[in-house]
Amino acid sequence: MIFTTLEFKKGGSYPSYLEAVGLMKKYRFLVVFLIFIMVFSSAVSGGTKDSSDKIYEKFQPFFQALQYIISEYYQKDINVDSLVNESIRGLVRGLGDPFSHYFDPQESVEMSIQTKAEYGGLGIEVTYTHNGFLKVISPMDDTPAFYAGIKPGDIIITIDASPVDQMTYLEAVNRLRGKSGTKVTIEVLRKGNRQPLKFTITRKVIKLKTVKYTIIPTDLGNVGYVRLTQFSGPTASDLARELKVLYAQDIKGIILDLRNNPGGLLSSAIDVASDFIDVGNVIVSVKDRNGYEDTYRSHGNSYPDLPMVVLVNGGSASAAEIVSGALKDHHIATLVGEKTFGKGSVQSPIKLSNGGEIWLTVAHYFTPSGKDIHGKGIMPDVVVHQTEEATQTATSVENAKAIEEGRNLTSEKANVDLKTDIQLRKALDILKEKISHTQKDAA
Protein backbone atom coordinates (compact mmCIF):
# COMPACT_ATOMS: atom_id res chain seq x y z
CA MET A 1 0.00 0.00 0.00
CA ILE A 2 1.23 3.49 -0.91
CA PHE A 3 0.27 6.25 1.49
CA THR A 4 0.22 9.97 0.72
CA THR A 5 -1.91 13.00 1.66
CA LEU A 6 -4.75 14.89 0.00
CA GLU A 7 -7.27 17.64 0.70
CA PHE A 8 -10.79 17.66 -0.76
CA LYS A 9 -12.62 20.81 -1.78
CA LYS A 10 -15.83 21.20 0.17
CA GLY A 11 -18.99 22.63 -1.32
CA GLY A 12 -22.57 22.00 -2.41
CA SER A 13 -25.96 22.25 -0.70
CA TYR A 14 -27.65 19.82 1.70
CA PRO A 15 -30.48 17.57 0.47
CA SER A 16 -33.95 17.90 2.00
CA TYR A 17 -32.66 20.71 4.18
CA LEU A 18 -35.57 21.00 6.63
CA GLU A 19 -35.72 17.25 7.14
CA ALA A 20 -31.97 17.11 7.74
CA VAL A 21 -32.11 19.96 10.23
CA GLY A 22 -34.92 18.18 12.07
CA LEU A 23 -32.82 15.08 12.40
CA MET A 24 -29.87 17.14 13.58
CA LYS A 25 -31.86 18.78 16.34
CA LYS A 26 -33.32 15.50 17.52
CA TYR A 27 -30.24 13.35 17.11
CA ARG A 28 -27.25 15.60 17.57
CA PHE A 29 -24.84 12.66 17.74
CA LEU A 30 -25.47 11.97 14.03
CA VAL A 31 -24.66 15.49 12.85
CA VAL A 32 -21.01 14.82 12.04
CA PHE A 33 -21.82 11.65 10.14
CA LEU A 34 -24.56 13.27 8.05
CA ILE A 35 -22.30 16.17 7.18
CA PHE A 36 -19.56 13.70 6.20
CA ILE A 37 -21.91 11.92 3.77
CA MET A 38 -22.94 15.22 2.22
CA VAL A 39 -19.44 16.62 1.91
CA PHE A 40 -18.18 13.34 0.51
CA SER A 41 -20.93 13.34 -2.11
CA SER A 42 -20.07 16.91 -3.03
CA ALA A 43 -16.38 16.07 -3.37
CA VAL A 44 -17.07 13.07 -5.59
CA SER A 45 -19.38 15.06 -7.85
CA GLY A 46 -17.01 17.99 -8.08
CA GLY A 47 -19.42 20.28 -6.28
CA THR A 48 -21.78 20.97 -9.22
CA LYS A 49 -25.42 21.36 -8.22
CA ASP A 50 -26.96 19.08 -10.85
CA SER A 51 -24.70 16.12 -10.11
CA SER A 52 -24.97 16.76 -6.35
CA ASP A 53 -28.76 16.62 -6.52
CA LYS A 54 -28.59 13.27 -8.28
CA ILE A 55 -26.29 11.81 -5.62
CA TYR A 56 -28.45 13.21 -2.80
CA GLU A 57 -31.49 11.64 -4.42
CA LYS A 58 -29.72 8.28 -4.55
CA PHE A 59 -28.88 8.61 -0.85
CA GLN A 60 -32.48 9.19 0.24
CA PRO A 61 -33.02 5.46 1.05
CA PHE A 62 -30.04 5.64 3.37
CA PHE A 63 -31.43 8.62 5.27
CA GLN A 64 -34.84 6.93 5.43
CA ALA A 65 -33.29 3.75 6.84
CA LEU A 66 -31.33 5.77 9.38
CA GLN A 67 -34.47 7.62 10.46
CA TYR A 68 -36.41 4.37 10.94
CA ILE A 69 -33.56 2.76 12.89
CA ILE A 70 -33.46 5.69 15.29
CA SER A 71 -37.20 5.99 15.73
CA GLU A 72 -38.50 2.42 15.43
CA TYR A 73 -35.77 -0.11 16.34
CA TYR A 74 -36.78 -2.15 19.39
CA GLN A 75 -33.62 -1.53 21.40
CA LYS A 76 -33.46 2.13 22.40
CA ASP A 77 -29.77 2.03 23.35
CA ILE A 78 -28.30 1.91 19.88
CA ASN A 79 -24.54 1.72 19.46
CA VAL A 80 -24.22 4.82 17.34
CA ASP A 81 -20.45 4.43 16.90
CA SER A 82 -21.07 1.03 15.38
CA LEU A 83 -23.70 2.47 13.02
CA VAL A 84 -21.32 5.19 11.90
CA ASN A 85 -18.33 2.88 11.44
CA GLU A 86 -20.21 0.22 9.51
CA SER A 87 -21.99 2.81 7.34
CA ILE A 88 -18.73 4.47 6.31
CA ARG A 89 -17.11 1.06 5.83
CA GLY A 90 -19.95 0.03 3.52
CA LEU A 91 -19.76 3.35 1.66
CA VAL A 92 -16.10 2.85 0.83
CA ARG A 93 -16.61 -0.85 0.08
CA GLY A 94 -19.25 0.18 -2.45
CA LEU A 95 -16.50 1.67 -4.62
CA GLY A 96 -15.46 -1.87 -5.52
CA ASP A 97 -11.82 -0.90 -5.01
CA PRO A 98 -9.93 -3.48 -2.92
CA PHE A 99 -7.31 -0.87 -2.03
CA SER A 100 -9.64 1.81 -0.64
CA HIS A 101 -10.54 1.26 3.02
CA TYR A 102 -12.17 2.79 6.05
CA PHE A 103 -10.33 2.41 9.34
CA ASP A 104 -12.30 3.08 12.51
CA PRO A 105 -10.58 5.02 15.33
CA GLN A 106 -8.96 1.92 16.86
CA GLU A 107 -7.85 0.61 13.48
CA SER A 108 -6.39 4.06 12.70
CA VAL A 109 -4.14 3.66 15.74
CA GLU A 110 -2.92 0.34 14.30
CA MET A 111 -2.15 2.01 10.97
CA SER A 112 -0.24 4.76 12.77
CA ILE A 113 1.89 2.14 14.51
CA GLN A 114 2.67 0.51 11.16
CA THR A 115 3.73 3.77 9.52
CA LYS A 116 5.69 5.07 12.53
CA ALA A 117 7.07 1.59 13.40
CA GLU A 118 6.99 2.28 17.13
CA TYR A 119 4.59 2.23 20.08
CA GLY A 120 4.52 2.03 23.87
CA GLY A 121 3.98 -1.54 25.06
CA LEU A 122 5.43 -4.89 26.03
CA GLY A 123 6.93 -6.17 22.78
CA ILE A 124 4.92 -9.28 21.97
CA GLU A 125 3.36 -10.47 18.75
CA VAL A 126 -0.05 -11.98 19.47
CA THR A 127 -2.98 -13.60 17.67
CA TYR A 128 -6.63 -14.10 18.60
CA THR A 129 -7.66 -17.61 19.69
CA HIS A 130 -10.97 -19.28 18.79
CA ASN A 131 -12.23 -18.82 22.37
CA GLY A 132 -11.40 -15.12 22.55
CA PHE A 133 -8.02 -15.02 24.30
CA LEU A 134 -4.66 -13.71 23.10
CA LYS A 135 -2.01 -16.24 22.16
CA VAL A 136 1.63 -15.15 22.16
CA ILE A 137 3.33 -15.93 18.86
CA SER A 138 6.61 -14.64 20.20
CA PRO A 139 8.12 -12.02 22.49
CA MET A 140 10.32 -9.62 20.53
CA ASP A 141 14.03 -9.47 21.25
CA ASP A 142 15.26 -6.95 23.83
CA THR A 143 11.77 -5.95 25.03
CA PRO A 144 10.00 -5.96 28.43
CA ALA A 145 8.08 -9.13 27.53
CA PHE A 146 11.29 -10.88 26.50
CA TYR A 147 13.05 -10.06 29.77
CA ALA A 148 9.96 -10.84 31.86
CA GLY A 149 9.97 -14.41 30.57
CA ILE A 150 6.91 -14.43 28.31
CA LYS A 151 7.16 -17.42 25.97
CA PRO A 152 5.71 -18.44 22.59
CA GLY A 153 2.40 -20.25 23.09
CA ASP A 154 1.47 -18.44 26.32
CA ILE A 155 -2.28 -17.67 26.46
CA ILE A 156 -3.08 -14.27 27.97
CA ILE A 157 -6.34 -14.63 29.93
CA THR A 158 -6.46 -11.38 31.93
CA ILE A 159 -5.07 -7.86 31.58
CA ASP A 160 -5.06 -5.87 34.82
CA ALA A 161 -7.55 -8.42 36.24
CA SER A 162 -10.02 -7.94 33.35
CA PRO A 163 -10.91 -11.12 31.38
CA VAL A 164 -9.53 -10.99 27.85
CA ASP A 165 -12.39 -13.08 26.46
CA GLN A 166 -14.74 -10.21 27.35
CA MET A 167 -12.80 -7.81 25.09
CA THR A 168 -12.45 -7.43 21.36
CA TYR A 169 -9.04 -8.19 19.88
CA LEU A 170 -8.14 -4.51 19.47
CA GLU A 171 -9.40 -3.66 22.96
CA ALA A 172 -7.12 -6.31 24.43
CA VAL A 173 -4.13 -5.18 22.37
CA ASN A 174 -4.71 -1.55 23.31
CA ARG A 175 -4.81 -2.48 27.01
CA LEU A 176 -1.41 -4.11 26.67
CA ARG A 177 -0.07 -0.92 25.13
CA GLY A 178 0.44 2.31 27.00
CA LYS A 179 2.84 5.04 27.95
CA SER A 180 6.44 4.04 28.47
CA GLY A 181 7.21 3.58 32.18
CA THR A 182 3.69 2.48 33.16
CA LYS A 183 2.96 -1.04 34.40
CA VAL A 184 0.49 -3.70 33.30
CA THR A 185 -0.29 -7.03 34.97
CA ILE A 186 -1.20 -10.05 32.87
CA GLU A 187 -2.11 -13.63 33.67
CA VAL A 188 -1.12 -16.35 31.25
CA LEU A 189 -1.79 -20.03 30.83
CA ARG A 190 1.33 -21.97 29.92
CA LYS A 191 1.59 -25.55 28.80
CA GLY A 192 2.86 -27.70 31.67
CA ASN A 193 1.62 -25.34 34.40
CA ARG A 194 -1.62 -26.09 36.21
CA GLN A 195 -2.13 -22.58 37.54
CA PRO A 196 -2.02 -19.27 35.64
CA LEU A 197 1.23 -17.34 35.81
CA LYS A 198 1.10 -13.66 36.74
CA PHE A 199 3.50 -11.06 35.29
CA THR A 200 3.71 -7.37 36.11
CA ILE A 201 5.64 -5.71 33.30
CA THR A 202 6.78 -2.13 32.79
CA ARG A 203 6.04 -0.82 29.33
CA LYS A 204 8.65 0.88 27.17
CA VAL A 205 8.85 2.30 23.67
CA ILE A 206 8.97 -0.61 21.22
CA LYS A 207 10.75 0.23 17.98
CA LEU A 208 10.01 -2.16 15.14
CA LYS A 209 12.93 -2.78 12.81
CA THR A 210 11.92 -2.81 9.16
CA VAL A 211 15.51 -3.15 7.93
CA LYS A 212 17.45 -6.37 8.54
CA TYR A 213 21.00 -6.96 7.39
CA THR A 214 23.89 -9.40 7.50
CA ILE A 215 27.12 -10.31 5.74
CA ILE A 216 27.32 -13.32 3.39
CA PRO A 217 30.96 -14.40 2.94
CA THR A 218 31.93 -15.63 -0.55
CA ASP A 219 35.13 -16.60 -2.31
CA LEU A 220 35.03 -13.19 -4.04
CA GLY A 221 34.65 -11.24 -0.81
CA ASN A 222 31.83 -10.17 1.50
CA VAL A 223 28.34 -9.58 0.14
CA GLY A 224 25.90 -7.31 1.96
CA TYR A 225 22.39 -8.72 2.39
CA VAL A 226 19.58 -6.29 3.28
CA ARG A 227 15.91 -7.19 3.76
CA LEU A 228 13.19 -4.54 3.99
CA THR A 229 9.99 -5.81 5.60
CA GLN A 230 7.97 -2.66 4.82
CA PHE A 231 8.40 1.05 4.08
CA SER A 232 7.68 2.88 7.34
CA GLY A 233 8.80 6.27 8.64
CA PRO A 234 12.21 5.12 10.00
CA THR A 235 13.00 2.70 7.14
CA ALA A 236 15.12 5.05 5.03
CA SER A 237 17.21 6.39 7.92
CA ASP A 238 17.71 2.85 9.30
CA LEU A 239 18.80 1.66 5.87
CA ALA A 240 21.27 4.53 5.49
CA ARG A 241 22.82 3.71 8.87
CA GLU A 242 23.12 0.01 8.10
CA LEU A 243 24.52 0.56 4.62
CA LYS A 244 27.36 2.50 6.26
CA VAL A 245 28.03 -0.53 8.47
CA LEU A 246 28.07 -2.84 5.46
CA TYR A 247 30.29 -0.60 3.34
CA ALA A 248 32.72 -0.35 6.26
CA GLN A 249 33.17 -4.12 5.98
CA ASP A 250 34.38 -3.80 2.37
CA ILE A 251 31.40 -5.49 0.73
CA LYS A 252 31.73 -6.30 -2.98
CA GLY A 253 28.02 -6.34 -3.82
CA ILE A 254 24.50 -5.97 -2.39
CA ILE A 255 21.42 -8.19 -2.32
CA LEU A 256 18.28 -6.19 -1.54
CA ASP A 257 15.45 -8.52 -0.48
CA LEU A 258 11.96 -7.07 -1.07
CA ARG A 259 10.09 -10.37 -1.02
CA ASN A 260 6.78 -10.27 0.86
CA ASN A 261 7.17 -6.53 1.42
CA PRO A 262 3.61 -5.11 1.20
CA GLY A 263 4.71 -1.50 0.73
CA GLY A 264 4.10 1.55 2.91
CA LEU A 265 4.95 5.24 2.66
CA LEU A 266 5.64 6.81 -0.72
CA SER A 267 8.20 9.16 0.86
CA SER A 268 10.04 6.17 2.32
CA ALA A 269 10.20 4.48 -1.09
CA ILE A 270 11.65 7.66 -2.65
CA ASP A 271 14.30 7.95 0.07
CA VAL A 272 15.28 4.28 -0.17
CA ALA A 273 15.57 4.35 -3.97
CA SER A 274 17.66 7.53 -3.72
CA ASP A 275 20.36 5.56 -1.90
CA PHE A 276 21.07 3.68 -5.13
CA ILE A 277 19.99 6.05 -7.93
CA ASP A 278 21.99 9.10 -9.04
CA VAL A 279 20.63 12.55 -8.20
CA GLY A 280 17.96 13.93 -10.53
CA ASN A 281 16.97 10.63 -12.10
CA VAL A 282 13.27 9.79 -12.04
CA ILE A 283 12.17 7.27 -9.42
CA VAL A 284 8.41 7.34 -9.98
CA SER A 285 5.65 9.47 -11.49
CA VAL A 286 2.20 9.76 -9.91
CA LYS A 287 -0.83 10.68 -12.04
CA ASP A 288 -4.30 11.47 -10.65
CA ARG A 289 -7.73 11.06 -12.29
CA ASN A 290 -7.55 14.53 -13.84
CA GLY A 291 -4.26 13.74 -15.55
CA TYR A 292 -2.14 15.85 -13.20
CA GLU A 293 1.31 14.28 -12.95
CA ASP A 294 3.86 14.66 -10.17
CA THR A 295 7.36 13.33 -10.77
CA TYR A 296 9.67 12.26 -7.95
CA ARG A 297 13.41 12.28 -8.54
CA SER A 298 16.39 10.90 -6.64
CA HIS A 299 17.86 13.05 -3.87
CA GLY A 300 21.27 11.59 -4.67
CA ASN A 301 23.27 8.42 -4.17
CA SER A 302 25.59 8.73 -1.16
CA TYR A 303 27.33 5.39 -1.63
CA PRO A 304 29.80 3.95 -4.15
CA ASP A 305 28.12 1.96 -6.91
CA LEU A 306 28.32 -1.79 -6.36
CA PRO A 307 26.92 -4.78 -8.25
CA MET A 308 23.36 -5.32 -7.05
CA VAL A 309 20.56 -7.89 -7.15
CA VAL A 310 17.00 -7.35 -5.93
CA LEU A 311 14.82 -10.26 -4.79
CA VAL A 312 11.07 -9.98 -5.44
CA ASN A 313 8.01 -12.24 -5.43
CA GLY A 314 4.21 -12.12 -5.50
CA GLY A 315 4.20 -10.53 -2.06
CA SER A 316 6.29 -7.55 -3.22
CA ALA A 317 3.78 -4.76 -3.62
CA SER A 318 3.29 -1.02 -3.92
CA ALA A 319 6.31 0.84 -2.47
CA ALA A 320 8.40 -2.32 -2.95
CA GLU A 321 7.45 -2.24 -6.63
CA ILE A 322 8.35 1.45 -6.91
CA VAL A 323 11.87 0.72 -5.67
CA SER A 324 12.39 -2.48 -7.65
CA GLY A 325 10.88 -0.92 -10.81
CA ALA A 326 13.16 2.11 -10.59
CA LEU A 327 16.28 0.02 -10.00
CA LYS A 328 15.35 -2.20 -12.94
CA ASP A 329 14.53 0.65 -15.35
CA HIS A 330 17.81 2.44 -14.57
CA HIS A 331 19.76 -0.85 -15.03
CA ILE A 332 21.18 -0.58 -11.53
CA ALA A 333 20.07 -4.00 -10.30
CA THR A 334 19.09 -7.39 -11.67
CA LEU A 335 15.66 -8.52 -10.42
CA VAL A 336 15.46 -12.17 -9.39
CA GLY A 337 12.48 -14.22 -8.21
CA GLU A 338 8.82 -14.12 -9.22
CA LYS A 339 6.47 -11.53 -10.69
CA THR A 340 5.49 -8.84 -8.20
CA PHE A 341 1.95 -8.26 -6.92
CA GLY A 342 0.97 -5.42 -9.25
CA LYS A 343 -0.37 -2.72 -6.94
CA GLY A 344 0.35 0.56 -8.66
CA SER A 345 -2.20 2.77 -6.93
CA VAL A 346 -1.74 5.51 -4.35
CA GLN A 347 -4.00 5.75 -1.29
CA SER A 348 -4.56 9.05 0.51
CA PRO A 349 -5.57 9.02 4.21
CA ILE A 350 -8.32 11.49 5.08
CA LYS A 351 -8.91 12.03 8.80
CA LEU A 352 -12.54 12.10 9.94
CA SER A 353 -13.97 13.88 12.98
CA ASN A 354 -14.61 10.60 14.81
CA GLY A 355 -10.91 9.70 14.72
CA GLY A 356 -11.34 7.25 11.86
CA GLU A 357 -9.76 7.54 8.44
CA ILE A 358 -10.78 6.77 4.89
CA TRP A 359 -7.97 5.71 2.61
CA LEU A 360 -8.97 6.41 -0.98
CA THR A 361 -7.21 5.50 -4.19
CA VAL A 362 -6.37 8.91 -5.67
CA ALA A 363 -3.75 8.15 -8.30
CA HIS A 364 -1.65 5.54 -10.11
CA TYR A 365 2.12 5.53 -10.17
CA PHE A 366 4.35 4.89 -13.17
CA THR A 367 7.90 3.52 -13.30
CA PRO A 368 10.67 5.67 -14.84
CA SER A 369 10.08 4.01 -18.23
CA GLY A 370 6.40 5.03 -18.05
CA LYS A 371 4.89 1.65 -17.18
CA ASP A 372 1.62 1.49 -15.22
CA ILE A 373 2.06 -1.86 -13.47
CA HIS A 374 -1.30 -1.83 -11.65
CA GLY A 375 -2.78 -5.30 -12.02
CA LYS A 376 0.22 -6.43 -14.04
CA GLY A 377 3.21 -6.51 -11.72
CA ILE A 378 6.90 -6.40 -12.60
CA MET A 379 8.50 -9.41 -14.21
CA PRO A 380 12.00 -10.11 -12.83
CA ASP A 381 14.98 -10.35 -15.14
CA VAL A 382 15.62 -13.88 -13.90
CA VAL A 383 12.55 -15.93 -12.91
CA VAL A 384 13.12 -18.40 -10.09
CA HIS A 385 10.13 -20.21 -8.61
CA GLN A 386 10.28 -21.83 -5.21
CA THR A 387 10.27 -25.60 -5.67
CA GLU A 388 7.48 -27.76 -4.26
CA GLU A 389 10.03 -29.33 -1.92
CA ALA A 390 11.08 -25.91 -0.60
CA THR A 391 7.44 -24.92 -0.12
CA GLN A 392 6.73 -28.12 1.82
CA THR A 393 9.80 -27.53 3.96
CA ALA A 394 8.66 -24.00 4.74
CA THR A 395 5.18 -25.26 5.64
CA SER A 396 6.52 -27.95 7.97
CA VAL A 397 8.45 -25.37 9.98
CA GLU A 398 5.84 -22.63 9.72
CA ASN A 399 5.33 -22.32 13.48
CA ALA A 400 9.06 -22.14 14.17
CA LYS A 401 9.46 -19.51 11.44
CA ALA A 402 6.60 -17.44 12.88
CA ILE A 403 8.27 -17.49 16.30
CA GLU A 404 11.61 -16.47 14.80
CA GLU A 405 10.04 -13.66 12.76
CA GLY A 406 8.16 -12.42 15.83
CA ARG A 407 11.38 -12.28 17.83
CA ASN A 408 13.15 -10.41 15.06
CA LEU A 409 10.58 -7.61 14.79
CA THR A 410 12.81 -5.52 17.06
CA SER A 411 16.10 -6.90 15.76
CA GLU A 412 18.32 -5.69 12.91
CA LYS A 413 19.70 -9.18 12.39
CA ALA A 414 18.75 -10.88 9.13
CA ASN A 415 18.57 -14.66 9.02
CA VAL A 416 19.49 -16.29 5.71
CA ASP A 417 19.35 -19.94 4.69
CA LEU A 418 21.20 -20.63 1.47
CA LYS A 419 20.40 -24.32 1.72
CA THR A 420 16.61 -24.04 1.39
CA ASP A 421 16.21 -20.56 -0.14
CA ILE A 422 16.85 -21.27 -3.81
CA GLN A 423 15.90 -17.75 -4.88
CA LEU A 424 18.52 -16.26 -2.58
CA ARG A 425 21.02 -18.84 -3.77
CA LYS A 426 20.39 -17.87 -7.41
CA ALA A 427 20.64 -14.18 -6.52
CA LEU A 428 24.02 -14.80 -4.90
CA ASP A 429 25.26 -16.70 -7.97
CA ILE A 430 24.22 -13.84 -10.28
CA LEU A 431 25.77 -11.27 -7.97
CA LYS A 432 29.07 -13.18 -7.88
CA GLU A 433 29.14 -13.16 -11.69
CA LYS A 434 28.64 -9.39 -11.67
CA ILE A 435 31.34 -8.96 -9.02
CA SER A 436 33.72 -11.13 -11.06
CA HIS A 437 33.15 -8.99 -14.19
CA THR A 438 33.67 -5.82 -12.15
CA GLN A 439 36.94 -7.11 -10.72
CA LYS A 440 38.20 -8.16 -14.18
CA ASP A 441 37.33 -4.73 -15.60
CA ALA A 442 39.17 -3.07 -12.72
CA ALA A 443 42.24 -5.22 -13.38
- Residues labelled as active-site residues: 318, 329, 343
Partners of residue 183 on adjacent β-strands: 202
Alpha-carbon distance of 262 to 342, in angstroms, equals 11
CA distance to 92, 173, 401, 430, 431, per residue, from 152 (Å):
37, 17, 12, 38, 37
Distance of CA 348 to the CA centre of its chain: 14
Q: How far apart are CA 27 and CA 18, in angstroms?
A: 14
159: left (phi over 0), alpha (psi -120 to 50) or beta: beta
CB proximity list for 142: less than 8 A, separation 6 or greater: 123, 410, 411
Alpha helices, DSSP H, located in 355-421: 388-396, 398-407
d(CA 264, CA 318): 7
Amino acid residing at 332? I
CB 258 within 8 A of CB 310: yes
Strand order in the sheet with 334-337: 211-218, 221-228, 253-257, 308-312, 334-337, 382-383
Between β-strands 118-121 and 264-265, what pairing exists: parallel, antiparallel or unpaired?
unpaired
For residue 420, the number of C-alpha atoms closer than 13 Å in the C-beta half-sphere is: 13
Task: Give the CA radius of gyration of the chain.
Answer: 25
Cβ(2)–Cβ(322) below 8 Å: yes
| Under 8 Å between Cβ of 309 and 431 | yes
Cβ contact 296:283 at 8 Å: yes
